[in-house]
């Protein structure tokens, strides 16, 4: 696994405490040495060494490989690992869009592994738990998509014929952008500031559409807007579902509560209560709030997650648990 | 004027530098003493004293009174000042909703000054500049409404027959809540957190509706959601205007640019550029960004202001300048 | 245990995952109901109920009681629990100063349990591990004192005859002040701000002196200054130890490294590396950095902890582990 | 002047409102175009254009040049401007250390303009007002030095024979590091974090020593430690002055109050009151708090400034006012 970014660190921290995982190979693109020196918070908790990534060594030493690498890198690595008979849990965006042309459009990079693109399993347990059990290549969903899809699933699955439009107004903490050095992500540019970005041009938009249209069995009109919050962690999405039929807050709440009744990591909050980022940060939970503007036939869903946990590393481990038959919450509560 | 809150301080700071204003009476509800001790940042810049508010003294010493008082207090003070022939610029919410029943519903307080409620002039210069010139009681708009209305005005004024719904997703810094001590506004409850609040129950919602419906000449369906940003100052509203006719980003941008061509404090940003809070914080500007999802016939406006300046004190002084025939930008650039 | 404050929540979160602890009685002063509603982040992780505190019930249902209560409350509760034969781990300040007159001076409250004050065991494992093993009443150290003492212990224990003065310049996040509602701790008063407070008047000052003088076997002149950081969690203390004899960074580093060689929760960083808050926040570690101004004979120690973990809840559980013969790191790594 | 950095922007904002300054040439190293597009907050307030810096054009179009350029750049530009008979106000560090060898040691760059280094006037008005009046090359002090020197001046000037050591524990917001893109200054690395940096190796340390030793007329032992606050603006320094003679808080307070009685931008706070960053941010003031540990003969001074205003741009304009005989507070209140 790659550990120089925030997601890799988050996977590492979870797996270090996971009773069924044994870490055998830790690597990064350009960083090497004791893990406890690369990430001082892990000093005294592990003696693991980080090596410069070598795909043959990874294949030789691991049964399952977590790829917390930048978009476009996974396309190079994944086919070799699969070829070697290994299981891959990919946290990059490379196997999320199932159409190579669409990938090229949104990621500005040609997809050269279209064969595995077809068989990659989408890793949202709440929607694809059964398929995940048999996955050899699991494509872990993006952070924005996870919060959006969990906020939309019950409505999209059962009310799709009455939905006329969906607007997702998303706000994310800065770690969602990864650990890259960028002038726009310098402290003084973000702190005490707030803005929309990549309006109508965010690569998570088609990923959300694909999931939702699959669940709905039809094409739903969807607009996604991302904003940058001056905080480290957490995503809140305010989702406006326009329907053309009267409904009530009670009905929608009942629908969502039933839909997620048995889900270990989705908590539908009481009517009148709004979830806050601090309820889910550092956890694998997605919390959902519900309100309905009954005059305007508008359902308002708020969905919150920790972008690095349920939006990345935690969900990857949840998928890992499902794939290997461990308790789904192992290492995550 | 009342200066113990953030708005009062902001008015004071602007007027101290205003060449045409002479501060003659500074007061607060429970605080008294040298202004430079109450607000240490003003020490060495003014020798003014703050007194416990006395409406007779205010009337005796001032021509125009800025009321930066909590909602419901203004109802008691305003009639007495008007009776004494004084001009009032009210920064509270007491004269914003023109229907006493509606006021009672949203502010949970009976309105006892319905006579002046009828004649109060709404203080949004971009919409009511002419009326403002002759105002004796000016009701300064709320912070959320200012950003929302400026973001909506050009569309509402010219496209109202094609608008089918409006969603305002608003995010505000904490000073918008005033300087009250509340468990929900403690540092550790707000910092690194984010949430929606007063969903479908915010008192600024009917105020926005009233302004917009006046401008549109018709009733437009409108949903407003407020969120709390972990920053001191600034409001960003992402406004989704659903229309039932094809339009383009260029057309909408041209409409907005022309509409605000002569406005000194509204800046329509280039297509492709999103305004950020830091562009307007500590200024009286409202910056507007424009995008259009042409497939979904959805106009996306982003509107940013400093909630204490264009959303309160700065706009009050802008109105003051208009009322007294001073240059409209005096003290504000 | 009391769980309405930040410390109580932190104890609860650690004990929920602790394999040797069974939570039997959860209480608070004025809050009751399901723990998952009081602290939404715990929903779905525990079915525990919180009751209004009743000392008899506490005694009946627990073997050991963690008291995360405000200063002065513990004096009332502790004697009753000890009387009933229970073990008490007190996280308040009530049993830290061993002299009742001094307690009254610094806490502005008369101490009415002087009997137990004498026998209370100071709960800093790195200094009093043996005594802690037999404690019936354990007084958990304050957050500032923990970072200060760990930063000073090796020097105070071995160099006391050359030390001429000690200055502790301490900076703490806001959760150190507890969850009380105070005008000074409102978001807008703390955010983007920084200040010294309680200069020469902080109640943790005599606590640090007592620990250090015990370790040194002599009275060392000590000055402590507290500052408020605009962050949620973490304490960094920059400690200046003036000595009257030449020394070098290498010597001091060697002294500290040997002193803490076997400590599971103290990490002395390499020379040239400064510890940061983010290295220890959410952990039970104390990280220490060392530098020496050799011209001025000044040792500069930086010491960082999470004020709620090593500075409170984590250290309490570390003490609990020692008292009951569990592995000292159980539940804490 | 150079405007692509935070300091250049701050100078620009002040001069735009300054009645006696006319901006004739705005430039940057690599950025050009309308100032209102480079800094959107200035759109609508100026039509100035920014050009790629050309020293001949600067000399041709200006009487006085403000150099807000990175350290080491000023050495190249300044001699040419002086040669052309222009006046230079240099905000870089290039002319602060009067010894070329010392400059090379702390700035890791050879000083090639030793001739002008000798005649450069140090721009701290409170110490060198008379010399500043005739300056052709003014070297504006660093931000840390400004707060330190103002906090030390009265004591150093009058108590130097009793001072045995000085410790300056300094904490700065992030804009003090300038607008460079650095992995250490990324939002997620700074936010909710705090650390000491460049311990015993900060280039402002010899600058402080030079000023203080000049004022004291003797060499005083001095240790300076810098820390990084997770905020945009502001410096607070806690200064510990060890003396070998009894003194009292009242005496020290009286000394400081008299010393700064006629200074327009230094405010000595009442005994018992600590200055906070928010009292001075966005102003040109330096606020000073005083306490004395009478047992330990330790004077504790807290000194706060806005690092971009009194610590850079504001002080530069204050010097400009003095140099040109304008009212010293012009444009700064």
Report pLDDT for A105.
94
Distance CA B329, CA C302 (A): 51
Helix ranges (H only) for chain A are: 6-16, 35-38, 55-61, 73-83, 100-107, 114-119, 125-133, 143-158, 187-190, 204-216, 249-259, 277-280, 314-323
Distance CA A216, CA A211 (A): 9
CB contact under 8 A, A191 and D6: no
Compute the average pLDDT of residues A102-123: 95
CB contact under 8 A, B194 and A231: yes
CB contact under 8 A, B230 and A231: yes
Residue environment code for A255-278, b if the CB has 16+ CB neighbours within 10 A, otherwise e: bbbebbeebbbbbbbeeeebbbbb
Compute the average pLDDT of residues A202-223: 94
- Cα distance from A49 to chain B (closest Cα, Å)? 32
A303-320 pLDDT, tens digit per residue, is 999 999 999 999 999 999
260-299 of B, contacting A, C-beta below 8 A: 274-278, 281, 289, 291, 293, 295-296, 298
Cα first-last separation, chain A: 22
Three-state SS sequence of chain C? CECCCHHHHHHHHHHHCCCCCCCCCEEECCCCEEHHHHCHHHCCCCCCEEEECCHHHHHHHCCEEEECCCCCHHHHHHHHHHHCCCEEEECCCCCCCCCHHHHHHHHCCCCCCHHHHHHCEECCHHHHHHHHHCCCEEECCCHHHHHHHHHHHHHHHHHHHHEEEEEEEEEECHHHHCCCCCHHHEHHHHCCCCEEECCCCCCHHHHHHHHHHHHHCCCCCEEEEEEECCCCCCEEEEEEEEECCCCCHHHHHHHHHHHCCCCCCEEECCCCCCCEHHHHCCCCCEEEEEEEECCCCEEEEEEEECCCHHHHHHHHHHHHHHHCCCCCCCCCC
| Cβ atoms < 10 Å from Cβ of C179 | 17
Report pLDDT for B2.
65
Report pLDDT for B181.
87
B172-225 pLDDT, tens digit per residue, is 999 988 888 899 999 999 999 999 999 999 999 999 999 999 999 999 989 999
CB contact under 8 A, A276 and B192: no
Q: Taking CB atoms and an 8 Å cut-off, how many pairs form between chains C and D?
A: 131
Give the H or E element holding residue B13: helix B6-16
What number is the ipTM of this complex? 0.96
Among residues of chain B, what percentage have pLDDT more than 70?
99
Q: Is B51 helix (H, G, I), strand (E, B) or coil?
A: strand
Question: B235: closest CA among B286, B191, B269, B289?
Answer: B286
Q: Which of B179, B187, B189 sits opposite C191 (nearest CB)?
A: B187
Compute the average pLDDT of residues A2-21: 91
- Cα distance from B239 to chain C (closest Cα, Å)? 27
Mean pLDDT for chain C overall: 95
Residue environment code for C17-55, b if the CB has 16+ CB neighbours within 10 A, otherwise e: ebeebebebbbbeebeeebbbbbbbbbbbbebebbebeb
Distance CA D109, CA D127 (A): 28
B328 Cβ under 8 Å from any chain D Cβ: no
Mark residue A302 as left, alpha or beta (left: phi above 0; alpha: psi -120 to 50; beta: remaining): beta
Report pLDDT for C299.
98
Structure tokens at D283: 């102003």
Cα first-last separation, chain C: 22
Distance CA D295, CA D289 (A): 19
- Cα distance from C309 to chain A (closest Cα, Å)? 14
Superfamily of domain A144-307: Dihydrodipicolinate Reductase; domain 2 (3.30.360.10)
CB contact under 8 A, D174 and A187: yes
| Cβ atoms < 10 Å from Cβ of B188 | 22
Instruction: Please list the active-site residues of B.
Output: 143
Q: For domain D6-141+311-323, which architecture applies?
A: 3-Layer(aba) Sandwich (3.40)
A332 close to A265: Cβ distance less than 8 angstroms: yes
CB contact under 8 A, C40 and A279: yes
CB contact under 8 A, B280 and D45: no
- Cα distance from B68 to chain C (closest Cα, Å)? 18
132-191 of A, contacting C, C-beta below 8 A: none
Report pLDDT for B272.
96
Contact list, D281 vs chain A (CB under 8 Å): none
C180-223 pLDDT, tens digit per residue, is 889 999 999 999 999 999 999 999 999 999 999 999 999 998 99
A328 Cβ under 8 Å from any chain C Cβ: no
Q: Is pLDDT above 70 for C91?
A: yes
Query: Helices D100-107 and D204-216, interaxial angle, to 10°?
Result: 140
Which candidate in D147, D166, D192 is best for mutational testing of the C interface (most C CBs within 10 A)?
A: D192
CB contact under 8 A, B191 and C230: yes
Distance CA C4, CA A327 (A): 32
224-243 of C, contacting D, C-beta below 8 A: 225, 227, 229-234, 236, 238, 240, 242
Residues of chain B with pLDDT under 50: none
Distance CA C330, CA C312 (A): 16
Bridge partners, residue D228, by sequence: D172, D195
Question: C279: closest CA among C309, C301, C257?
Answer: C309
- Cα distance from A252 to chain C (closest Cα, Å)? 21
Report pLDDT for C1.
61
Distance CA B267, CA B86 (A): 34
Q: Is D50 a catalytic residue?
A: no
B6 Cβ under 8 Å from any chain C Cβ: yes
C291-329 pLDDT, tens digit per residue, is 999 999 999 999 999 999 999 999 999 999 999 999 999
Report pLDDT for B87.
97
- Asked whether the whole model's pTM tops 0.95, one would answer yes
Contact list, A299 vs chain B (CB under 8 Å): none
Which candidate in B163, B173, B195 is best for mutational testing of the A interface (most A CBs within 10 A)?
A: B195
User: Which subunits sit against C, judged by 3+ Cβ pairs under 8 A?
Assistant: A, B, D
Domain ranges of chain D: 6-141+311-323, 144-307
Write out chain D's pLDDT in tens, 333 residues. Answer: 666 799 999 999 999 999 999 999 999 988 899 999 999 999 999 999 999 999 999 999 999 999 999 989 999 999 999 999 999 999 999 999 999 999 999 999 999 999 999 999 999 999 999 999 999 999 999 999 999 999 999 999 999 999 999 999 999 999 988 888 899 999 999 999 999 999 999 999 999 999 999 999 999 989 999 999 999 999 999 999 999 999 999 999 999 999 999 999 999 999 999 999 999 999 999 999 999 999 999 999 999 999 999 999 999 999 999 999 999 999 999
- Cα distance from B129 to chain A (closest Cα, Å)? 30
CB contact under 8 A, C169 and D238: yes
Strand-pair category, C195-197 with C222-228? antiparallel
Contact list, C300 vs chain D (CB under 8 Å): 199-200, 223, 225
Q: Is pLDDT above 70 for C2?
A: no
Q: Which of A186, A230, A231 sits opposite D186 (nearest CB)?
A: A186
Distance CA B278, CA A192 (A): 7
Distance CA C264, CA C262 (A): 6
CB contact under 8 A, A238 and B169: yes
User: Which subunits sit against A, judged by 3+ Cβ pairs under 8 A?
Assistant: B, C, D
State which fold the C144-306 domain adopts.
Answer: Dihydrodipicolinate Reductase; domain 2 (3.30.360)
CB contact under 8 A, D191 and A232: yes
User: Which subunits sit against D, judged by 3+ Cβ pairs under 8 A?
Assistant: A, B, C
């Amino acid at each position: 696994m790659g550990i120089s970014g925030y997601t890799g660190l988050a996977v590492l921290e979870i797996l270090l405490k996971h009773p069924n995982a044994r870490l055998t190979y830790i690597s990064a693109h350009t960083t090497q040495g004791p893990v406890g020196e690369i990430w001082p918070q892990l000093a005294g908790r592990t003696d693991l060494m980080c090596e410069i990534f070598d795909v043959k060594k990874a294949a030789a030493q691991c049964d399952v490989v977590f790829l917390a690498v930048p978009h476009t890198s996974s396309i190079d690595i994944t086919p070799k690992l699969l070829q070697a008979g290994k299981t891959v849990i990919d946290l990059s965006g490379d196997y999320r869009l199932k159409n190579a042309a669409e990938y090229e459009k949104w990621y500005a990079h040609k997809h050269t592994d279209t064969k595995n693109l077809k068989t990659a399993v989408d890793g949202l347990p709440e929607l694809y738990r059964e398929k995940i059990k048999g996955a050899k290549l699991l494509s872990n969903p993006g952070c924005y998509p996870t919060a959006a899809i969990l906020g939309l699933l019950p409505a999209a699955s059962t009310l799709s014929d009455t939905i006329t439009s969906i607007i997702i107004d998303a706000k994310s903490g800065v770690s969602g952008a990864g650990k890259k050095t960028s002038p726009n992500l310098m402290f003084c540019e973000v702190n005490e500031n707030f803005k929309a970005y990549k309006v109508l041009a965010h690569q998570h938009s088609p990923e959300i559409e694909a999931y939702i249209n699959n669940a709905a069995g039809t094409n739903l009109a969807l607009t996604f807007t991302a904003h940058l919050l001056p905080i480290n962690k957490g995503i809140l999405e305010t989702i406006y579902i326009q329907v053309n039929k009267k409904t009530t807050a009670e009905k929608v709440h009942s629908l969502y509560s039933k839909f997620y009744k048995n889900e270990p990591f989705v908590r539908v909050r009481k009517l009148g209560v709004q979830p806050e980022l601090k309820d889910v940060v550092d956890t694998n939970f997605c919390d959902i709030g519900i309100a309905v503007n009954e005059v305007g036939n508008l359902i308002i869903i708020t969905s919150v997650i920790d972008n690095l946990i349920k939006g990345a590393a935690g969900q990857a481990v949840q998928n890992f648990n499902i794939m290997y038959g461990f308790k789904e919450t192992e290492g995550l509560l």
